[in-house]
């Protein structure tokens, strides 16, 4: 079990603590939903969680197999629907080293496609992942 705690600071801002590490982060509502957009919104954190989970899940497997993913990058574009307001899609791009052997890439991508965050998303969320070997 891992616990996160948050304190509401007013004006749609929260201060969140990751209890095991004592790491803090701030959230704010986005500008299009009564906030100032001064930090990650809760749905931005979902998008961030997806992209970093894909990278981390692949890295766990790759490191066991002696394959380095150092320098890999991700980007996620989040699109919200208006009614009801929810995440409609998360288009994720994973950029990986060109040095990754061609015959290893399918195994690596299957690992990324099965990360815990992606598997936890509601089926209505379109969560396509594109893999590019460009780093």
The model's pLDDT over 81-104, given as tens digits with 9 standing for 90+, comes to 999 999 999 999 999 999 999 999
| CB contact at 8 A, 43 and 87 | yes
Task: Give percent above pLDDT 70 in the chain.
Answer: 100
Query: Residues of CATH 3.30.300.20 domain(s) within the chain?
Result: 46-133
- Residue 2 — pLDDT band, cuts 50, 70, 90? very high
Q: CA 51 to CA 59: how far, in whole Å?
A: 12
Which of these, 101, 106, 96, lies nearest to 132 by C-alpha position?
96
- State percent of the chain over pLDDT 90: 98
Per-residue tokens: 98 = 């060109």
Average pLDDT for 104-117? 98
8 Å CB contact between 97 and 133: yes
**Rounded CA separation 68/58 (Å):** 10
Spatial neighbors of 1 by CB under 8 A, at least 6 apart, are: none
CATH superfamily of this structure's domain 46-133? K homology (KH) domain (3.30.300.20)
């Amino acid at each position: 079990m891992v616990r996160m705690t948050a304190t509401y600071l007013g004006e749609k801002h929260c201060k969140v603590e990751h209890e095991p590490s004592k790491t803090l982060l701030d959230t704010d509502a986005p500008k299009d939903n009564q906030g100032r957009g001064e930090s990650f919104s809760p749905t931005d954190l979902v998008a961030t969680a997806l992209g970093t989970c894909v990278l981390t899940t692949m890295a766990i497997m790759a490191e066991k197999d002696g394959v380095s993913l150092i320098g890999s990058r991700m980007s996620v574009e989040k699109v919200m629907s208006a009614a009801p307001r929810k995440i409609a899609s998360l288009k994720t791009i994973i950029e990986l080293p060109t040095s990754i052997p061609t015959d290893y890439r399918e195994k690596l991508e299957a690992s990324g496609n099965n990360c815990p965050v992606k598997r936890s998303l509601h089926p209505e969320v379109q969560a396509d992942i594109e893999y590019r070997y460009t780093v």
